[in-house]
Structure 1
Amino acid sequence: MNMQMSALAAGVPPASVRQRVTAQGAIQVSLHPGELMQIESPDQGQCCELVALGPSGADVYAPLGLNANVQSASVTLAHLSSGRPSAQRLQRQLEGWGIREAQLQQAVHLPADQLPLQIEATEQSGPVSLILLAPGEDMTPDAQTTVSELEVSLWLLPERTPELPAPLAEPVQEIHIPHSSARAYRVRAGEWIQIIDVAGKQCSDFIAFDAAALEQGEEVTLDAVATRTLAGHALPQPGLYSRFADSRLQPMLELVQDTVGRHDSFLLACTPKYYEDSGYFGHVSCSDNFNRTLKDWGVAPRAGWPAINFFFNTQVEACGTVGMDEPWSRPGDYVLLRANRDLICASSACPDDIDPANGWVPTDIHVRVYGAENQFERAIAHRVVPEELPRMTKQTAFHSRTSKLTRQFAEYRGYWVPTEFEGWGARAEYLACREAVVLMDLSPLRKFEVVGPDAEALLQYALTRNVRRLAVGEIVYSAACFETGGMVDDGTLFRMGEQAFRWVCGDSWSGTWLRELAEQRGDRVSIRESTDQLHNLAVQGPNSRALLSELIWQPENRTPVSELKWFHFTIGRLGGPEGIPLMVSRTGYTGELGFEVWCHPDDGGQLWDAIWEAGQSYGLAPLGFDALDMLRIEAGLIFAEHEFCNQTNPYEAGIGFTVPMKTKEEDFSGRDALQRQAPESRQRLVGLVLDGNEPVHHGDLVYDGRMPVGQITSATASPLLGKMIALCRVQPAWSEPGTRLEVGQLDGLQKRLPAEVRILPFHDPERLRVRS
Structure 2
Amino acid sequence: MSSTAPRHTALDALHRSLGATMTDFAGWDMPLRYGSERDEHQAVRTRAGLFDLSHMGEITVTGPQAAAFLNHALVGNIASVGVGRARYTMICRADGGILDDLIVYRLDEAEAGSAHYMVVANASNAQVVLDALTERAAGFDVQVRDDRDAYALIAVQGPQSAGVLKSLTDADLDGLKYYAGLPGTAAGVPALIARTGYTGEDGFELFVKPEHAVRLWQALTEAGEGVGLVPCGLSCRDTLRLEAGMPLYGHELSTALTPFDAGLGRVVKFEKEGDFVGREALREAAARSEHNPPRVLVGLVAEGRRVPRAGYPVVADGRVIGEVTSGAPSPTLGRPIAMAYVDGAHAAPGTPGVGVDIRGSHEPYEVVALPFYKRQK
TM-score, scaled to structure 1:
0.46
1:599 counterpart letter in structure 2? V
Query: Please, which of 711, 734, 737 is the counterpart of residue 346 of structure 2?
Result: 734
Residue equivalent to 1:503: 119
Q: Percent identity?
A: 34
Q: Is the aligned partner of 1:514 residue 2:133?
A: yes
Report if the CA contact (8 A) 2:170-2:185 is conserved: yes
Residue equivalent to 1:487: 98
Residue equivalent to 2:197: 588
Deviation at 1:659, TM superposition (A): 1.8
Deviations along 1:476-509, one digit per CA (max 9) or x if unpaired, are: 0001111111001001000013521100011221
Matched residue SS, 1:676: helix
Matched residue SS, 1:563: coil
Deviation at 1:697, TM superposition (A): 0.7
Deviations along 1:422-471, one digit per CA (max 9) or x if unpaired, are: 3xx10000110010011000111100001112211111012121112100
Q: Is the aligned partner of 1:549 residue 2:158?
A: no
Residue equivalent to 1:529: 146
Q: Is the aligned partner of 1:417 residue 2:30?
A: yes
2:221 counterpart letter in structure 1? W
2:367 counterpart letter in structure 1? V
Distance, in Å, in 2 between the alignment partners of 1:731 and 1:672 is 25
Query: Please, which of 169, 175, 188 is the counterpart of residue 563 of structure 1?
Result: 175
Matched residue SS, 2:131: helix
Higher relative CO (Cα under 8 Å, sequence separation at least 6) belongs to 2
2:153 counterpart letter in structure 1? N
Deviation at 1:654, TM superposition (A): 3.3
Residue equivalent to 2:112: none
Greater Rg over alpha carbons, structure: 1
Distance, in Å, in 1 between the alignment partners of 2:263 and 2:167 is 37
1:494 counterpart letter in structure 2? Y
Deviations along 1:395-422, one digit per CA (max 9) or x if unpaired, are: 1122222111124111112211111113
Q: Is the aligned partner of 1:475 residue 2:86?
A: yes
Matched residue SS, 1:531: coil
Deviation at 1:258, TM superposition (A): 4.2
Distance, in Å, in 2 between the alignment partners of 1:731 and 1:669 is 29
Q: Is the aligned partner of 1:659 residue 2:268?
A: yes
Report if the CA contact (8 A) 2:42-2:332 is conserved: no
Matched residue SS, 2:281: helix
1:704 counterpart letter in structure 2? A
Matched residue SS, 2:129: helix
Residue equivalent to 2:284: 676
Deviation at 1:760, TM superposition (A): 0.4
Distance, in Å, in 2 between the alignment partners of 1:421 and 1:759 is 32
Distance, in Å, in 2 between the alignment partners of 1:402 and 1:484 is 42
Q: How does 1:330-729 map to 2 (within 5 A)?
A: 381=4, 392-422=5-35, 425-497=36-108, 499-506=115-122, 507-508=125-126, 509-519=128-138, 522-554=139-171, 560-575=172-187, 579-661=188-270, 663-664=271-272, 666-677=274-285, 678-679=288-289, 680-729=292-341
Matched residue SS, 2:218: helix
Deviation at 1:588, TM superposition (A): 0.3
Report if the CA contact (8 A) 1:466-1:660 is conserved: yes
Deviation at 1:665, TM superposition (A): 5.2
Distance, in Å, in 1 between the alignment partners of 2:331 and 2:39 is 10
Distance, in Å, in 1 between the alignment partners of 2:269 and 2:348 is 24
Distance, in Å, in 2 between the alignment partners of 1:664 and 1:744 is 44
Q: Which runs of 5+ in 1 are unaligned?
A: 1-256, 260-380, 382-391, 555-559
Distance, in Å, in 2 between the alignment partners of 1:586 and 1:563 is 10
Matched residue SS, 1:553: coil
Distance, in Å, in 1 between the alignment partners of 2:337 and 2:256 is 24
Deviation at 1:527, TM superposition (A): 0.7
Matched residue SS, 2:257: coil
1:551 counterpart letter in structure 2? L
Distance, in Å, in 2 between the alignment partners of 1:676 and 1:642 is 23
Deviation at 1:745, TM superposition (A): 3.2
2:215 counterpart letter in structure 1? Q
Report if the CA contact (8 A) 2:261-2:293 is conserved: no
Report if the CA contact (8 A) 1:651-1:682 is conserved: no
Report if the CA contact (8 A) 1:420-1:426 is conserved: yes
Count residues in correspondence: 364
Deviations along 1:527-568, one digit per CA (max 9) or x if unpaired, are: 1111111111110000001110110134xxxxx123211000
Deviation at 1:585, TM superposition (A): 0.2
Report if the CA contact (8 A) 2:33-2:234 is conserved: yes
Q: Please identify, of 536-545 and 565-574, the stretch whose mean Cα deviation from structure 2 is larger.
A: 565-574
Distance, in Å, in 2 between the alignment partners of 1:546 and 1:523 is 43
Matched residue SS, 1:590: coil
Matched residue SS, 1:465: coil
Matched residue SS, 2:185: strand
Query: Please, which of 749, 752, 759 is the counterpart of residue 362 of structure 2?
Result: 752
1:674 counterpart letter in structure 2? L
Matched residue SS, 1:675: helix
Q: Which runs of 5+ in 2 are unaligned?
A: 110-114
Distance, in Å, in 1 between the alignment partners of 2:317 and 2:178 is 44
Distance, in Å, in 2 between the alignment partners of 1:414 and 1:562 is 37
Matched residue SS, 2:17: coil
Report if the CA contact (8 A) 2:33-2:236 is conserved: yes
Deviation at 1:681, TM superposition (A): 2.8
1:526 counterpart letter in structure 2? Q
Distance, in Å, in 2 between the alignment partners of 1:620 and 1:562 is 20
Distance, in Å, in 2 between the alignment partners of 1:698 and 1:501 is 34
TM-score, scaled to structure 2:
0.93
Matched residue SS, 1:456: helix
Deviations along 1:577-602, one digit per CA (max 9) or x if unpaired, are: xx221111000000001101111001
Deviations along 1:349-381, one digit per CA (max 9) or x if unpaired, are: xxxxxxxxxxxxxxxxxxxxxxxxxxxxxxxx1
1:412 counterpart letter in structure 2? F
Deviation at 1:667, TM superposition (A): 2.8
Distance, in Å, in 1 between the alignment partners of 2:244 and 2:31 is 21
Distance, in Å, in 2 between the alignment partners of 1:504 and 1:564 is 19
Q: How does 1:60-75 map to 2 (within 5 A)?
A: none
